[in-house]
């Protein structure tokens, strides 16, 4: 077997994790800590420019193959909101990820804020947003993004980039001079968090980890995990 890591010396890669720590008296509500970390992630982008998109989040779902074997799948999407009800993303509701979440309405989110040596992991159940909420966000989207949503049969094969560009041009012509309506196949998903972990890099790979779990009565239970 060819060792393809040799050219990059992956086994020799080392990074010192020295960015900070998580106190034992972290907030009782994970959303309060999430707000602080999100603000600090955007501040990092403004001050240093090395965290290009703090809202980028890895969404993981479970697909079942024809034999019923679970196959985890991940992709990067954009976090477009969060509140006491959960974390919101938008997508083509005819896409594979939407179908996977329809069949198994549970997901994991990962926000990897590498320059801050931090990550946030979120797990929970998923539901579709009411149409009114999807409409409100759709109205805020740039027109080009609206046209792109209409033009793309997300994740379906297409013969060439030229064919894809032709589809966009066709949609652009269709809606010329008019508002672009939200297609029925496009909308939002809310992930209701049941487990939230905050990970802070520390020296000697002795990282800090604090996790919040929802209890049976709907409250949060906080505890520290070993690295």
- Give dist(CA 89, CA 188) in Å, integer: 6
Per-residue pLDDT tens digits for 14-27: 778 777 889 888 99
> Which residues are known to be catalytic?
205
Asked whether the predicted pLDDT for residue 180 surpasses 80, the reply is yes
Whether pLDDT at 130 is above 70: yes
Alpha-carbon distance of 64 to 213, in angstroms, equals 27
Burial of 164 (0-12, 13-18, 19+ CB in 10 A): middle
**36-69, pLDDT tens digit by residue?**
999 999 999 999 999 999 999 999 999 988 888 9
Q: Which residues pair with 73 in a beta bridge?
A: 61
Nearest by Cα to 90 from 194, 168, 191, 193: 191
Architecture field, domain 15-140+183-225 = Roll (2.30)
pLDDT, average across residues 122-148: 98
* Residue 61 and residue 101 in contact, taking contact as beta carbons nearer than 8 Å: yes
Give the pair of three-digit tokens for residue 24.
């034992």
Question: Which neighbouring-strand residues pair with 26?
Answer: none
pTM of structure: 0.92
Known binding residues for FMN: 75-80, 90-91, 97, 119, 154-155, 199, 209
Whether pLDDT at 161 is above 80? yes
- Taking residues 176-198, what's their average pLDDT? 98
pLDDT of residue 3: 66
């Amino acid at each position: 077997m060819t060792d393809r890591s040799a050219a990059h010396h992956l086994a020799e890669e080392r990074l010192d994790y020295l960015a900070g720590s998580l106190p034992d008296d972290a907030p009782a509500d994970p959303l309060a800590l999430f707000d602080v970390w999100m603000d600090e992630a955007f501040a990092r982008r403004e001050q240093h420019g090395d965290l290009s998109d703090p809202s980028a989040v890895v969404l993981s779902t479970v697909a079942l193959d024809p034999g019923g074997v679970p196959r985890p799948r991940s992709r990067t999407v954009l976090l477009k909101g969060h509140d006491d009800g959960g974390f919101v993303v938008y997508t083509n509701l005819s896409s594979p990820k939407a179908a996977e979440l329809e069949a198994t309405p549970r997901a994991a989110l990962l926000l990897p804020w590498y320059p801050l040596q931090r990550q946030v992991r979120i797990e929970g159940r998923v539901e579709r947003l009411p149409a009114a909420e999807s409409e409100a966000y759709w109205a805020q989207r740039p027109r080009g993004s609206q046209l792109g949503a209409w033009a793309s049969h997300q994740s379906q094969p297409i013969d060439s980039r030229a064919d894809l560009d032709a589809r966009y041009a066709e949609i652009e012509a269709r809606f010329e001079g008019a508002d672009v309506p939200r297609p029925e196949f496009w909308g939002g998903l809310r992930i209701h968090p049941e487990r939230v972990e905050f990970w802070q890099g520390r020296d000697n790979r002795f990282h800090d980890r604090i996790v919040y779990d929802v209890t049976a009565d709907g409250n949060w239970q906080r505890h520290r995990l070993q690295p």
